[in-house]
Structure 1
Amino acid sequence: MSIHPGMKMLAAVPVLFLAVGFSDSVILNKCGLKQELQTGLTLPPNMTDVLAQIVCHVQLTSNFNTSAIKTITEPQNSGEHHGSRKGRSARSRGKDKGRPSRKVTPPPHLESAEDKNEVWTLYGLFQLSDHVVCNSSTQSHSLNLCGLTCNQLLDDNISDDLACIQVLINKMTGVIPDPETAKHIRNMISLIYQPECVNAKASTYFADCP
């Protein structure tokens, strides 16, 4: 049975579509990303193990896939908040011993932004947030620290991803006057310095890299 030339063209369209879709992403590996970071980032002298911690984060979250996307609830910088809350509670127990506890619930219109769990979409190799580093079509109030559309973090060109990581590192080592902006940036950085990676050492993590 012969196939009409037009049918052959239609049959080729899905294959072409798939090829185009996958050509915009790439899967890296630990040693390759290490080299990219060494070339693309400028780190302070006291941050020699940061490369290992960043690559460990990438391995756990995006599995080195430049087109990875995930939605999460905004993380909280739990170490800082829990520490201050614990200290305050301890002082209150000592000072107000014997008094009945009383919980005051603020009216809905006085609830702070911190009481509301915002949804973040994380993009690309480093899983960067649309609330903090880039602007997406679904997010209208992003800080957009890196001056990017979020789709720019999904292709196989990671130069803009690396530049964005550099921005976060610079913010982390600098002073941020606005408390709300500082909170979001700390929460973004807390994702990269997650518990599984915070103690990663370059000497051991990259031991099998040339």
Structure 2
Amino acid sequence: MLAVVVVLFLAVGVSDGVILSKCELKQQLEEGLTLQIPNSADVLAQIVCHVQLTSGFNTSAIKTIPEPQEPRSGPRRGRSPRGNNKGGSSSNESDEDKDEVWTLYGLFQLSDHVVCNSAQSRALNLCRLSCDKLIDDNTSDDIACVQTLINALTYPIPDPETARHIHKMISLIHQPECMTMKATSYFAICQTP
């Protein structure tokens, strides 16, 4: 009996995350984000689509990936930030860049190199929080961090290194499958009768 209680205690203590529904996340984003751009409903659908594809709406999702390559201007071809790029690296990459690994946290799969502080990496810590705050069931700080990223894209970033890391982080969010998403169809299930 004691073993069962210990296992239950450990399971509850380790799993602070929850799985949200598409409609729950939509509502939370509508309440927490300020999108002052044309077609903001469609942008919201694209953000939620990204969450669905990368974290499955799991607030405690964690993944590691090789450091994303510089975002390209122009059409994107064969971009796969989750793939391993050990064999075909370009000559302008340093050995340090090739071995760099990013850990992505939470619903939005935000990087420890850009938005939060973790023990594993040096970080910009743009959102001024510990990475473990992105993997709990409180999504308000996650949404505030997404707002910070959106705001960072709105204003010029004077430091080129900071700008480079922010653009790499944003390139992870642009899922090709989500870029043409329309709110009316994507959120149709969320309409109340």
| CA distance in 2 between partners of 1:76 and 1:19 (Å) | 38
| CA distance in 2 between partners of 1:16 and 1:114 (Å) | 42
Residues 177 and 134 (structure 1), Cα distance of their counterparts in 2 relative to 1, 3 Å cut:
same
Contact 2:70–2:168, Cα closer than 8 Å, also in 1 = yes
TM-score, structure 2 normalization: 0.83
User: Matched residue of 1:79: which SS?
Assistant: coil
Which of 43, 53, 58 aligns to 1:65? It is 58
Tell me the amino acid that sits aligned with residue 33 of structure 1.
Answer: L
| CA distance in 1 between partners of 2:150 and 2:71 (Å) | 20
| CA distance in 2 between partners of 1:63 and 1:155 (Å) | 15
Residues 43 and 209 (structure 1), Cα distance of their counterparts in 2 relative to 1, 3 Å cut:
same
Contact 1:53–1:192, Cα closer than 8 Å, also in 2 = no
Same amino acid, percent of matched pairs: 62
Which of 43, 55, 70 aligns to 1:50? It is 43
Residues 113 and 165 (structure 1), Cα distance of their counterparts in 2 relative to 1, 3 Å cut:
farther
Residues 32 and 14 (structure 1), Cα distance of their counterparts in 2 relative to 1, 3 Å cut:
same
TM-score, structure 1 normalization: 0.77
User: Matched residue of 2:161: which SS?
Assistant: helix
| CA distance in 2 between partners of 1:114 and 1:76 (Å) | 13
How far residue 51 of structure 1 moved from its aligned partner, in angstroms, is 0.5
Is 1:193 aligned to 2:174, yes or no?
A: yes
Bigger Rg, which one: 1
**1:27 aligned residue:** 19
Unaligned runs of 5+ in 2: 77-90
**1:123 aligned residue:** 105
**2:150 aligned residue:** 169
Contact 2:71–2:167, Cα closer than 8 Å, also in 1 = no
User: Matched residue of 2:72: which SS?
Assistant: helix
How far residue 162 of structure 1 moved from its aligned partner, in angstroms, is 0.4
User: Matched residue of 2:103: which SS?
Assistant: strand
| CA distance in 2 between partners of 1:115 and 1:20 (Å) | 36
How far residue 74 of structure 1 moved from its aligned partner, in angstroms, is 1.7
Residues 82 and 47 (structure 1), Cα distance of their counterparts in 2 relative to 1, 3 Å cut:
closer
**2:141 aligned residue:** 160
Tell me the amino acid that sits aligned with residue 119 of structure 1.
Answer: V
User: Matched residue of 2:64: which SS?
Assistant: strand
User: Matched residue of 2:6: which SS?
Assistant: helix
Which of 120, 129, 142 aligns to 1:148? It is 129
How far residue 114 of structure 1 moved from its aligned partner, in angstroms, is 8.7
- Higher alpha-carbon deviation: 166-175 or 74-83: 74-83
Residues 135 and 113 (structure 1), Cα distance of their counterparts in 2 relative to 1, 3 Å cut:
farther
**2:86 aligned residue:** none
How far residue 173 of structure 1 moved from its aligned partner, in angstroms, is 1.4
| CA distance in 2 between partners of 1:45 and 1:200 (Å) | 16
How far residue 73 of structure 1 moved from its aligned partner, in angstroms, is 1.0
Tell me the amino acid that sits aligned with residue 13 of structure 1.
Answer: V
Aligned length: 176
User: Matched residue of 1:134: which SS?
Assistant: coil
Which is helix-richer, 1 or 2?
1
Q: Please provide the CA RMSD for this pair.
A: 2.2
